[in-house]
Amino acid sequence: AIQLTQSPSSLSASVGDRVTITCRASQGVSSGLAWYQQKPGKPPNLLIYDASNLKSGVPSRFSGSGSGTDFTLTISSLQPEDFATYYCQQFNSFPLTFGQGTRLEIK
Amino acid sequence: QVQLVESGGGVVQPGRSLRLSCAASGFRFSSYGMHWVRQAPGKGLEWVAVISYDGNNKYYADSVKGRFTISRDNSKNTLYVQMNSLRAEDTAKYYCVKDVRTEAADLDYWGQGTLVTVSS
């Protein structure tokens, strides 16, 4: 199975900061990667599909990039509602796998 | 709007069985792959299984292969997972999830989840 390793596992930041989360795959997944945001007690919400495409309705401060084995999710200017846990997920091959998550906390 | 409503969760003893259902509405159910994804309390996301839009292709996580069976009834807009030989490590919230494509890709809509607790 393809392993996805996110870094950092947790992060403290302030409103207005620029934040980058990385996701590294144990083997290439082409552009078959998505990013999700999950808030406590809620299901995940798709932010970025196919590595770099912003889902309709998601604020433009979110962006994704990368292909192959190295991917990034960037939040250009953190807003209070962005404090949550973020997951990457690959769908290039079965079994589908998720990263372990990055918890973004308020500093 | 897209709605996915899971049901069938509860407390079950190890070794027993449970069937979860997911009622879908707000989209053409028969055109999309559907997944089950679970999340143990306080833990991350774990993909469980996917079924293609027509039910012909099914794939499973190694942790549930041979014990869980995913199925769908396109005439009823309903997704199922039959869970047999349940173990304590199957305790989790189970989410029904819609794919953006016909089989497996990005997961664009999630239900609220149903909690399964395996305990004696």
Q: Using a CB-CB distance cutoff of 8 angstroms, which residues of chain A are in contact with residue B106?
A: 34, 46, 49-50, 89, 91
Encode B51-88: b = buried (16+ Cβ within 10 Å), e = exposed: bbbeeeeebbbeebeeebbbebeeeebbbbbebeebee
Contact state of A96 with B50 under an 8 Å Cβ cutoff? yes
The predicted-structure confidence for B17-50, as pLDDT tens digits, reads as follows 999 999 999 999 999 999 999 999 999 999 999 9
Positive or negative CA dihedral for A103, A32, A42, B84?
A: negative
pLDDT of residue B107: 95
Q: Of the candidates A32, A34, A44, which has its C-beta nearest B110's C-beta?
A: A44
The predicted-structure confidence for A57-92, as pLDDT tens digits, reads as follows 999 999 999 999 999 999 999 999 999 999 999 999
Stretch B81-110: mean pLDDT, rounded? 96
Q: Using a CB-CB distance cutoff of 8 angstroms, which residues of chain A are in contact with residue B46?
A: 98
